[in-house]
Structures are given as C-alpha cells and as structure tokens.
Structure 1
Amino acid sequence: MQPGRTRTKICGITRPEDAVAAAAAGADAIGLVFYEPSPRCVSLEQARAIADAVPAFVTLTGLFVNPDRMLVEQVLSRVPLDLLQFHGDESPGFCDQFHRRWIKAIRVRARDDVEQGFKCWRRASGLLVDAYDPQRYGGTGQCFDWSVIPEQRPMPLILAGGLDASNVAEAIRQVRPWGVDVSGGVEASDNPGGASSGDTGKATKKGIKDAAKITEFLSEVNRVNQAD
C-alpha cells in the first residue's frame, strides 16, 4: 500500500506539553511507552494526563514489549488508547485479543525479515520496521539499510530507526513509507547551547522532547509531501 502522503508519529512522549507541541506541529500520532526498562516509560497517571491533553484527530498509541495480558488491559481501562503497538516477540493471536487496532514492530537485518513480517502479521494495521539490535527492542537511535525494504507491501509500512530532521526527507524519498516514527531524533539535548537534530554524539534527555526539533522534523516531512 502506497501513501498519498507520509504520516508522522512522535513516540516516547512523557509530558503533556510535548504532546501538545507535537499536535500543534502537525503530528498524526503520538506514542506512549509502557515498558518499564525504557527511560521513556510512563506511569498510568502520566499517560492519562498526556491523553487528556491530546486534541481530536491525533492517534494516541500505546507501545508494549512482551507484556502480559493483564498489563495491556489495565492500561486500556485507564488510558483511551486508539492504537496498540507491539514491539517484542508477541504472537499474532496475543496482539489480536484486545479489540483495538494494532501495529507490529520488527527488527530488520535483511529483506526476508520484512517479507516474513508481512506474512506473519497480516492482521496488523501496519508493520513498523526498525533497526536490529540483539539486546534492545527498539529505541536504538540507529538507521538500517533501507534498500532491503521491498517495494511490494500488502499493508502500510512505517519506518523507524535513527530518523531526525537531517535524514527523514531522504528516507521518505527512498522508502516511500506510509508513515515515519521518531523518538530520540526530536529530544532535547544536554548540550546547553542546543544541538540541532542532525548533530551526533550529543546526549539527549530521553523522553523530553524539543518543540523546535519536532517542528523541524515535521517541516521536512511536509516539504517532501508537498513536492510530490
């Protein structure tokens, strides 16, 4: 499925003001992480406060990594999620039991990973492709070889992994994804002078977004969309 325009998701939101900034800049979706090892994990109270700040027509997404069923149900009972994102080794049957639309994230090393992903997760609303790391389920801040992504896609493909304002335009031109997903690439820097989103080697404040970087990222996405 080819996009009419590239959709955008700002993931790892931990504060209501960051959700408001993402929506104001034009993000289609925001992501909340419910995975305790992640520095971007939010409590139910944080998640509810963020959800209350999200305006209409912005998709509120909950990210889980190998959760038990009770955790997902507990979150759904407290937070009005529109979409679930499973980022671990969950089975298709597990993902499909919550009566919510869901997307599946996979870690990519080769074309076969993506092709198998389309076959295995055919009931998903989209397949998110991320960089492979044997120790981490995403959030690596690393790109992967986009050329391994097949052109034939039976469902929406969402590109993640190491995206920021310096490379998202080229990523869209090359991959033509349904959507792009960014987290670390729009986070505030520990550098007091402020680092641009394209700077490398600068520590970021994980979970704390930079409104200017969000705007710059989305502007780059829109620039490519308008050019098409």
Structure 2
Amino acid sequence: MVRVKICGITRVEDALAAAAAGADALGLVFYAASPRAVSIEQARTIQQALPPFISTVGLFVDATAEDIREVLAQVRLDMLQFHGNEPDEFCQQFGIPYLKAIRVRPGQDVNEAAAQWPGACGILLDSYRPGVPGGTGEVFDWTMIPVERKWSLILAGGLDAANVQQAITQAHPWAVDVSGGVELTKGRKDFDKINAFIREAKRV
C-alpha cells in the first residue's frame, strides 16, 4: 500500500487531523520564504502533540548546516528533505535519513539526476517552476518517470484526491506527498480534503 505524506503542516489541529485520517508522515517546512514555514517553536509544539508512529519530516532549502543542527537540537525529526542545491555529502552529514527533491524539467534524464544523491533513502519528484523550490500545485509529465529505477520514488506536484489514484497507477511510487491539494488556504489544511486524499491513495 502506498504511503502518504501531508506536507506544509503549520497547526497542531491539522497535524492531528492528518494523523487520524491515516497519514504516515507529516512535513514541517523550515524555509522562511514559504507561506507554509514554521518556526522551531511551532514545529516542536506540533511534534510533541503527535500520536505514536507518525514520522515527522523537516524540509529545508539551501539552509546552512548550523541552521539545520539548530532545528535538530530542538525538534525530533525522523527524516530530512532537501529542496535546494545540497550535494549528497552535505545531506548525509546529519546522520538522519534524507529525501532529495528533484524538480522535473522537460527532457531531463531522471535516473541520471537521481544518481547524484546515492545516500538518499528516497527521491521526491516535483514539478519545475523557475524560482519556486516546491509547492507549485502543478502536475508534471508522469511519463518522464523511469519505469526501471534503483531508488524509492516519492511523487509530488499538483496531487489531489481527484488525480492521486491515476498517479499511483501510472507511476507506482513508494509514497505520495501532498500540500496544496489538501488546503483551504496556504498553510491551513482542509480536513475533508485530507480524508479524501488519503482514502483515494490507500484504495489503489
């Protein structure tokens, strides 16, 4: 069964709603330019409120190692997610499993791109928009995802309850990642959309 990550959590009530709906992981955005960014204090409050067996993933975009360590000293993250130009060596230094996001461009060799991060436990494929490191709400061409791959695929980019089954059937990802597709407004989740998304994803 495909795993589901609800990203861009900013409120305790949204985190608890996602957990109750069956989310496997929640994403906390530590990128100040994002409308879904959280402070260390917000993230700690959310993390402490969670029930057991829900993974917390910290999302960073070209943050310094010092900034990441400051977060890790105060928030118990299970995984890191990098959306910038961080090389594999940088991503591995924290001793925590990490995901590397790749924004898929037309004509790109996705396997070749993924090979640049051999230490990643998964590769998250997202839509490309110049200057926007993620959360575009746009779907990319899923036919670009290689059928033969040696890495675990986390599929993101414009997913919602209406298209997630098609995405899973076509791309066969290990997990799907959604943010804007389950929101009322940026940074605030819609509980009905969360439930519908997870229900549709888990039915495949």
What TM-score range do you get, normalising by the shorter chain? over 0.9
Q: TM-score normalised to the size of structure 1?
A: 0.88
Structure 1 match to 2:135: 139
Q: Pick one of 83, 88, 100 that aligns with 2:79.
A: 83
Does 1:33 find its partner at 2:13?
no
Structure 1 match to 2:41: 45
Mean Cα displacement is larger for which, 102-111 or 137-146?
102-111
Structure 1 match to 2:20: 24
Does 1:155 find its partner at 2:151?
yes
Larger Rg: 1
| Distance of 2:69 and 2:62 partners within structure 1 | 14
Offset of 1:62 from its aligned partner?
Answer: 0.1
Give the partner amino acid of 2:2.
T
Structure 2 match to 1:11: 7
Structure 2 match to 1:210: 190
Offset of 1:146 from its aligned partner?
Answer: 0.1
Indicate if the aligned counterparts of 1:117 and 1:127 stay in contact, CA closer than 8 A.
no
Give the partner amino acid of 2:178.
V
Structure 2 match to 1:196: none
Distance 1:12 1:113, change over 3 A: farther
Instruction: List per-residue Cα deviations over 1:67-111 (Å, max 9, x = no partner).
Output: 001110000000000000001111111101001000000100146
Offset of 1:117 from its aligned partner?
Answer: 2.6
| Distance of 2:114 and 2:73 partners within structure 1 | 30
Instruction: Provide structure 1 residue ranges, at least 5 long, that are not aligned to the other structure.
Output: 189-204
Identity across the alignment (%): 57
Instruction: List per-residue Cα deviations over 1:17-51 (Å, max 9, x = no partner).
Output: 11111111000100000000000000111000100
Offset of 1:213 from its aligned partner?
Answer: 0.6
Instruction: List per-residue Cα deviations over 1:158-184 (Å, max 9, x = no partner).
Output: 000000001001000110101000000
> CA RMSD, aligned part only?
0.9
Give the secondary structure class of the aligned counterpart of 2:173. coil
Q: Pick one of 78, 91, 97 that aligns with 1:95.
A: 91
Count residues with an aligned counterpart.
Answer: 204
Does 1:118 find its partner at 2:114?
yes
Indicate if the aligned counterparts of 1:25 and 1:214 stay in contact, CA closer than 8 A.
yes
| Distance of 1:111 and 1:71 partners within structure 2 | 35
Give the partner amino acid of 2:121.
S
Give the secondary structure class of the aligned counterpart of 1:138. coil
Instruction: Provide structure 2 residue ranges, at least 5 long, that are not aligned to the other structure.
Output: none
| Distance of 1:92 and 1:41 partners within structure 2 | 24
